């Protein structure tokens, strides 16, 4: 249903409405920068790092999410293999539907979709 609506929205749009240019909004906020040479040297030397799981050969930042993992093998990439390996056909179809919902905003205007709903 969502993919059908997206096709209608994008195919039904006149192509000359934005004169061949994509719409882009760029904005920012002002900020103040403070120079702290001592802190910069502290970070450059790696003194802010802590050993991961007590192993001093593996140093991580204390805010690094990997510090919460006990075994890194569970979080490692599959190496480019099939990410649906071991799933049944039903589970694979369900994952494909979930992927369509996950990435819907990349291909369709969410606001128009909400109005349609």
Mind listing the pLDDT tens digit for each residue in 24-67? Answer: 788 889 999 889 999 999 999 999 998 888 888 888 888 888 77
- The C-alpha angle 86, 91, 97, rounded to 5 degrees, equals 130
Determine contact, residues 62/50, Cβ cutoff 8 Å.
yes
Higher pLDDT, 15 or 59: 59
Determine contact, residues 108/9, Cβ cutoff 8 Å.
yes
Model pTM greater than 0.75? no
Q: What's the chain's average pLDDT? A: 77
Q: Identify the pLDDT of residue 6.
A: 47
Strands (DSSP E) contained in 37-89 are: 49-52, 55-61
Q: Where are the domains of the chain?
A: 36-81, 82-116
77 pLDDT band, cuts 50/70/90, is low
Q: Which of 7-11, 18-22, 51-55, 112-116 has the lowest mean pLDDT?
A: 7-11
């Amino acid at each position: 249903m969502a993919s059908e609506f997206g096709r209608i929205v994008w195919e039904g749009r006149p192509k000359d409405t934005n004169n061949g240019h994509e719409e882009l909004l760029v904005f920012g906020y002002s900020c103040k920068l403070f120079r702290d040479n001592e802190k910069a040297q502290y970070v450059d030397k790696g003194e802010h790092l802590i050993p991961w799981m007590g192993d001093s050969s593996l140093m991580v930042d204390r805010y690094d999410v990997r510090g919460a993992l006990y075994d890194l093998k569970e979080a490692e990439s599959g190496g480019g293999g099939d990410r649906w390996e071991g799933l049944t056909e039903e589970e694979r179809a369900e994952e494909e539907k979930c992927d369509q919902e996950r990435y819907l905003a990349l291909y369709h205007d969410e606001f128009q979709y909400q109005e349609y709903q």
